[in-house]
Amino acid sequence: MRIILVGDGKVGHTIAQHLTAEGHDVVIIDQDDEPLRRSADTLDVICIRGNATNAKTLIDAQASRADILIATTASDETNMLCCMMAKQLGTPYVIGRIRDPENTESLTMLQKDLGIDMIVNPDRLTAFEISRLLRYPFASNIESFAKGRVEMVEFRAQEEDVMVGIPLSELAKKKHGLPHVLYAVVDRDGEVLIPDGSFVIQPGDRVHVAADMTTITSYFRYLGRNSLRVRNVMLLGGGRISYYLAKMLSPMGIKVNIIEINEAKCDVLSEQLPEANIIYGDGTDQELLEQENIAQMDAFVALCDRDEENLLTSLFAARQGVPKVIVKNSRASYAEVISSLGLDSVVSPRFITCSTILRYVRGRSNGAQSSKVERLYRMINGQVEALEFIAREDDPFINVPLKDMKVTSGTIIAVIVRKGHVITPFGNDHIEPKDSVVVLSRKMGIKDLSEVIHK
């Protein structure tokens, strides 16, 4: 597809990297020469210097021939105007990044009246991911599929866990009562492993398990991991993510404490979030954190603009005994370092945004006869993709036992959901029309279920 990307910042450049890797023709528009030079040197893209709110710039980018326009500049107003103009020039689908809470509250009207097909709010998406991690503090990461019926949960295996040291095929015999889950992917010291029956989980492995919500809950109860409940949380930084997160957590009965170094921003937050405790001060000051009883918190979330500050304060929180620590990180190069320090729960607004937009793009890459991507998540620093498809009646694999089909190398059929019933598939199972099918793959860029399953 031909895709116009407006804004060549961190988010825009990351999206461009993935789109070009998947074979799309990408045109990048930006007013700054430096990021355009970087993209021209490192990516197979066309770069145009100019103001995308100027109709001539969009005409030069051939917006009338584009399939999708994605506006990711730092200005909500610029993104909205670009989307409106691209629609007028004939671009069928437009995506706009909208971050301001005031604009977000008018989301439905904006989409309808401005003709924006998809609005992406990175800060709100990130806050939602964090809220899920706080609801299930035993997990490092949680993804949901099939309208919430299936959950994939990441956790770090500990030496005392009952499944450690036993081949997976023998677990049911040796550990009676252990709920049956799919051991989908294991990250062992940065190496991605797809377990089979002979696989043995070791202490320190980052394990991804999948099942329906009830089974997942029972599984972690069996492991003794669900004893912690978050009642008090401290947020470092009073930005938009903290605002959205406090809005989500307060109705859940969680006491929110926000530390912000900007006094004017503290005043605004006090008005916007009357149920939260707003603290004026430098959250990187360990004495202040101790004065505010960080050791008594159930969770600590570092949401500063600087990754280094987030990392250092999170390490301090962990050493103070805070049970759940979540780190916002924007740099992929830091991910392994953070994990090696024992900080497993890491969120990246950039990659959350990228995954959301890629799912939309892939859903429109194929014709109407394709089983399109319903959900897309990137796992283990982008080394594995988890995708959800809805099977169609004319798919070639319908009603054929999986043992008679060929599955692409490095890919597994993780879960099938049929009429609300969750199936962990084996060789004799099959796929029926309208089934939700979740696959895990080390192959990037899968757009259709038929790319994964072959006769």
Q: Closest Cα partner for 355 from 158, 129, 193?
A: 129
Confidence of residue 368 (pLDDT cuts 50, 70, 90): very low
Q: Rounded CA gap, 82 and 94, in Å?
A: 9
Angle at CA 349, nearest 5°, toward 347 and 351? 85
Q: Rounded CA gap, 158 and 164, in Å?
A: 8
* In the predicted structure, residue 243 carries a pLDDT above the cut 90: yes
Task: Report yes or no: 301 and 282 within 8 Å, Cβ to Cβ.
Answer: no
Cα of first residue to Cα of last residue in the chain, in angstroms, is 28
**Least confident span in 170-179, 254-263, 315-324, 376-385:** 376-385
Q: Rounded CA gap, 349 and 389, in Å?
A: 24
Quick count: other Cβ atoms within 10 Å of Cβ 309? 17
Angle (deg, nearest 10), helices 240-249 and 263-272: 30
Q: Where in the chain is the domain with CATH 3.30.70.1450?
A: 365-454
Q: CB under 8 Å to 153, separation ≥6 — which residues? A: 136, 139, 141, 142, 208, 209, 210, 216, 220
Question: pLDDT digits over 302-349, tens only?
Answer: 999 999 999 999 999 999 999 999 999 988 777 777 877 878 789 999
Q: Rounded CA gap, 243 and 247, in Å?
A: 6
pTM: 0.79
Q: What is the pLDDT of residue 337?
A: 77
Question: pLDDT digits over 20-46, tens only?
Answer: 988 899 999 999 999 999 999 999 999
What's the fold here for domain 2-120?
Rossmann fold (3.40.50)
Q: Where in the chain is the domain with CATH 3.40.50.720?
A: 2-120, 232-347
Selected from 1.10.3720.10, 3.40.50.2000, 3.30.70.1450, 3.40.50.720, the CATH number assigned to the domain covering 365-454 reads 3.30.70.1450
Class of domain 232-347: alpha beta
Between these two residues, 65 and 455, which has the higher pLDDT value? 65
- Average pLDDT over the chain, rounded to an integer: 89
Question: pLDDT digits over 280-298, tens only?
Answer: 999 999 999 999 999 999 9
Q: CB under 8 Å to 291, separation ≥6 — which residues? A: none
Question: pLDDT digits over 111-151, tens only?
Answer: 777 788 888 999 999 999 999 889 888 888 888 888 778 88
Q: By percentage, how much of the chain surpasses pLDDT 70? A: 96
Q: What is the pLDDT of residue 375?
A: 78
| β-pairing verdict for 436-441 and 384-390 | antiparallel
What's the Cα-to-Cα distance from 310 to each of 42, 189, 213, rounded to whole Å?
A: 29, 23, 31
